[in-house]
Structure 1
Amino acid sequence: MAKNYVVTLIVLLFFAFAPKAFAQEIAQPQIENLSIYPNPVNSNRQFIFITSKHNLVKQIEFFNAIGKKIYATTLTGKELNISRLATGVYFLKITENNITETRKLVIK
């Protein structure tokens, strides 16, 4: 009888700690110090600023709330013209030096 409890306890402990022991974490590279400001932004502003540690050329893709790509551009500086965008929530796919990150932008 005690043998069954020991086996059950070992099996329970295995399943409790197995996911942590076998999980493989793959570190995704990130764009260092990526920042979008102001965010949220008022609809009367025409520009936002996208900066990073190295401020290299960035490819920016805009997606609406349902995931449809609505605009793409290349950013060589820090200032991005958003005057063509209506109020709403957008997702920005930002690629710099072959590293991609996604950020949310809210236009009020």
Structure 2
Amino acid sequence: MAKNYFYITLLLAFFFTLSASAQDSKQLPKSQDVSTTIEGLSLYPNPVTNGKVYISSKNDLEKEVIVFNVLGKKVIQTHLSSRELNVADLAPGVYIIKISEENASATRKLIIR
């Protein structure tokens, strides 16, 4: 009888080892976003108090700027050829700003007072 318990225990140990290794071999999904961050990105002043935020980067190319509120609703979408973004129409609070320049993009928190 003890011999049967030994074989059952051995069989269960083998089964659990096999199932654990099968789970480890699963690959995680690859990220769809292959873009890089924007080199030398600067966003100032943050927090914004005067209704204007300045966005600059090393290359200073044209940028697409999208501002989202904390609920994820798009509140501003524009293309900037200069550094100045007017946010005077936004209510005080916390926002997420996504900046895209060529093949690079970056996301930052933007606070408006």
TM-score of the superposed pair, with normalisation by structure 1: 0.71
Match of 1:74 among 64, 79, 87: 79
C-alpha deviations, 1:74-104, integer Å up to 9, x for none? 2112232323322112222322215444332
Question: CA separation of 1:24/1:70 partners in 2, compared to 1, >3 Å: closer, same or farther?
Answer: closer
Structure number with bigger Rg = 2
Give the CA deviation at 1:31: 3.3
Q: Measure, in 2, the Cα distance between the counterparts of 1:64 and 1:4.
A: 53
Instruction: Indicate the residue corresponding to 2:42 in structure 1.
Output: 35
In the TM superposition, what is the alpha-carbon distance from 1:38 to its structure 2 partner? 2.4
State whether structure 2 residue 20 is matched by structure 1 residue 12: yes
Q: How far is the alpha carbon of 1:57 from its aligned partner?
A: 0.2
Is the CA contact (8 Å cut-off) linking 2:95 and 2:109 kept in structure 1? yes
TM score, norm. by length of structure 2: 0.69
In structure 1, the partner of 2:4 is: none
* Structure 1, unaligned runs of 5 or more: none
Equivalences for 1:1-108 in 2 at 5 Å? 1=7, 2-15=10-23, 17-19=24-26, 22-26=27-31, 28-33=34-39, 34-41=41-48, 43=49, 45-108=50-113
Query: Which ranges of 4 or more aligned residues in structure 1 deviate by more than 6 Å?
Result: none
Question: 1:4 is paired with a residue of what secondary structure?
Answer: helix
1: CA distance between counterparts of 2:78 and 2:111? 18
Matches of 2:77 and 2:11, distance apart in 1: 65
Secondary structure in structure 1 of the residue aligned to 2:110: strand
Separation in structure 2 between the aligned mates of residue 28 and residue 38 of structure 1, nearest angstrom: 29
Equivalent pairs: percent with the same residue? 35
Distance 1:4 1:64, change over 3 A: closer
